[in-house]
A and B are shown apart, each in its own frame.
Chain A
Amino acid sequence: MSELFTLPVLLGILYSGIRLATPYLYAAIGETFAQRSGVYNLGVEGIMLMGAYTAFYVASISGDLWLGLGAAAGVGAMLGLLMAFVSVTLRAEQGISGIGLHLFGLGLSTLLFKTTLGGVTSISGFQPVRIPFLADIPLLGDALFNHNLLVYVAFLLVPVANWVINDTTLGLKIRAVGQNPAAADSLGVSVGKIRYLTVTVGGVFAGIAGASLSIALINLFQENMTNGQGFIAVALVYFGGWRPWGVLGGAMLFSLVNALQLWIQVAGIELESDIAVMLPYLLTIVALAVAVRRAQQPAALSKPFERGEA
């Protein structure tokens, strides 16, 4: 045990935890916007896959990582729009359409991967950027301030999202539309427009979440490489009580425990590997059960809106 809790190891866990949390943050913050406005998008995983593929393909063809990132955001926006169209305009059952979107993203990214890339290749992704001064802080500096750009942006997204949701007129509309769309509608707020906006923004972030894997963290594309992270991101939104800071807490808890369990195994501590890999999930569930707090679940979550129903 003593070997595990040395300072360098703890810092290593922090470093890995931050990296692992990055895609979850993008995807879950995006989903938070959608759910706060009342749309439940289960298709995040599919959008992430398309984002990961697009970013990788465009970046490796053009040699421009930014172009790849932009393309991933664009594809994310398009898939978000598609989800919005199905769930807002067509008023389809949201859980089902989300699963459809996931399967669509999984199938299409696999097909495109096969036809355009053929097999796994790697590229040189976004490189770590040492932040001057901050990275020189003794001990913590390297673990916190020596990451690639997409990692920093993911963490900056949390206060920004929190500000947008709680302190802006747009955020007020989003919250109102998710709680009582009829009331928002009666004040001239367009429920449809707001939901289109949030679901599309959620799609953009899901696309970037995928890109963060394929061109910043792992730097390759493989079919189904997100491996369920999009679904975990949706669960993290619930875990975080629909609040960006709560989502950050959940993402970090989950990722840190994941990094920790790897260290436990590497350090040779006697623990069945099957149990070790379950740790992050178990701990998250326990935290969920222990932290009994009043959730701000949007009252209209997953309910399509139609004017005129009292």
Chain B
Amino acid sequence: MNTFSTRIRWAAAAALLLAACAPAAAPTSAPVPTAEPQIIEVTRVVAGTPEVQVITATPPPAAPAETFRVAIVMPSSTTDMAFSQSMYEGLLAVQREMGGEGAMEIAYSEGMFSVPDAAAALRDYASQGYDLVIAHGSQYGTSLAQLAPEFPETSFAWGTALDTFQAQGVTNVFAYQAEAQQGGYVLGTIAALMSESGVIGISGPVEAGDAKLYVDGFKFGAESAKAGTKVNVSYTGSFSDVSLMAAAAETHVAAGADMLTGSSQSVVGAIGVAKDQGAYWFGTQWEQTFLAPEAVVASQVYDWTGIIKDMIASHQAGVLGGKSYTLTFKNGGLVIA
């Protein structure tokens, strides 16, 4: 009895520990941190690998004789007001441009927090003959590298990342990255100039990937724009913990911040805090204004359409992979809304 209850207590402890690790173990949009230090500078596109392609404006792909079939697997939902929604809406926009469902078919699996499930879905789509299969999450990379060589006719894409696995001899994988620090810098500049208290609060999910890029860019922008601006940064350790993100925003306000920002789908709670506490909010990944029009100043929006169009055009031209893309202001992939 006694040893049993002790065991239960340890199991409970382990449950707590697991709960602590789970969010970190399943990041939804964090790319594998790249080895190179990221230089944050708005005017220059940062080269991650030698073959970065910068897309400026691609005309819509020639209307194909048969339907172009795209499938996508995403960690969160198509309505997350963040990472997944930005890509899904990008696909819908391209679909409209190409002439609707007859020209381009979109299949998607959302909420694939579990990597093995996502890997299975990716395989399904590939074997069903989709032309382009997108693994929208850097955590899917390893699975994709194994899968791609088995389906040489199919184009694959993944992000945010820059590695197309060419070093491993894989030729049918595209990679895409968002230079989120660029918008961060711009928004940070605005925030610093707007702030009356001189204190800015940033809450990120996990200290990695485009979230980190954004947070660092924002901080750098704010500090450069106005000397003496104090920028407080916190991370919640989770992409989905709405409660903790809201508590983080409250903490920033209590610490004197009147300008707030944050990244990941969990920021929705923090936007509510900004509204209630009379602070201003800056969004990223997706247009977040309508949640609290009076509080949201501006959002950096990811516009993936250029990249999607180029991938389709490449595929139709017989180039099934090998390119790395980056979203930047210069190429129109990043937009302030």
Contacts and interface: CB of A to CB of B under 8 A. Distances in A.
Contacts of B265: 222
Contacts of B255: 9, 263, 266-267
7 contacts: A120-B268, A213-B243, A220-B268, A227-B242, A266-B233, A268-B232, A277-B24
Contacts of A295: 5, 8-9
Contact of A265 (B22, B77, B233): B233
A19 B201 contact: no
A219 B13 CA distance: 31
A270 B272 CA distance: 29
Nearest to B247: A16
B60 interface: no
Contact of A258 (B1, B233, B247): B247
A121 B235 CA distance: 24
Contacts of B240: 224-225, 227
A290 B303 CA distance: 52
Given A220-B269, A227-B240, A297-B5, 6 more contacts: A219-B272, A259-B247, A267-B255, A274-B237, A277-B237, A282-B20
Interface string B261-292: 00001101101100100000000000000011
A204 to B, nearest CB: 21
A297 B13 CA distance: 15
A42 to B, nearest CB: 10
Contacts of A273: 207, 234-235, 237
Interface in B60-94: 77, 79-81
A273 to B, nearest CB: 4
Interface string A87-101: 000000000000000
Interface in A203-246: 213, 217-220, 222-225, 227-229, 231-232, 234-235, 238-239
Contact of A227 (B13, B80, B243, B271): B243
A118 B252 CA distance: 30
Nearest to A127: B276
Contacts of B254: 8-9, 12, 15-16
Contacts of A218: 242-243, 246, 268-269, 272
B20 A299 contact: no
Most A CB within 10 A of own CB, among B242, B254, B265: B242
B233 A119 contact: no
A281 interface: yes
B19 A231 contact: yes
B195 to A, nearest CB: 16
Contact of A238 (B8, B80, B237): B8
Interface in A260-290: 262-263, 265-268, 272-274, 276-278, 280-282, 284-285, 288-289
A258 B235 CA distance: 12
Contacts of A229: 243
B299 interface: no
A32 interface: no
A20 B243 contact: yes
Most B CB within 10 A of own CB, among A19, A218, A282: A218
A120 B241 contact: no
Most B CB within 10 A of own CB, among A220, A222, A295, A297: A222
B46 interface: no
A259 B251 contact: yes
Nearest to A118: B79
B120 interface: no
